[in-house]
Amino acid sequence: MPVIDVQHQLDTLTLTIVAEFAAPVERVWQIYADPRQLEKIWGPPGYPATVVEHDLTPGGRVHYYMTGPQGEKYPGYWRITAVDEPRSFSFEDGFADQTFTPDPNLPVSRNVYTFAEHDGRTRATYVSTYDSAEGLQKVLEMGIVEGATSAINQIDDLLAA
């Protein structure tokens, strides 16, 4: 299992997940840079992602939806704020309606994903910051820790393929 640490801090409004992969930084970067690879790991098992727009450049957008076991669709978006290929990228991640219009009733997170060489492996650090403790608490109650952990843990299978 790649995920080695998960912490959420209501006082700093953050959720941090750390994972390690038996692959070079550049290979792990490609999973996020290629929409077809991203689809294989973005949704947790049972909720596969479909990426309909993918522009991993500052100011770019990624639009996606996850499909649940009964066919229900859960749209979301990223608004890319910074890219330092292959070391990191930053983005806002939010829930959306079926036209990818942001849903103002659900929290938005600011995310920084970093990838660094560590003992011949890649250490990925995923930090999500919310605007309020209530927003963080809401996504915790929605199962973000379990969903994100199970999604990230799919990366090993993709790397091995």
71-81 pLDDT, tens per residue? 999 999 999 99
For residue 20, the model assigns a pLDDT of 97
CATH of domain 3-160: 3.30.530.20
Residues 24 and 121 sit within 8 Å (Cβ to Cβ): no
Q: How far apart are CA 102 and CA 81, in angstroms?
A: 16
* Domain residue extents for the chain: 3-160
**Is residue 101 over pLDDT 80?**
yes
With cut-offs at 50, 70 and 90, classify the pLDDT of residue 161.
confident
Residues 46 and 68 sit within 8 Å (Cβ to Cβ): yes
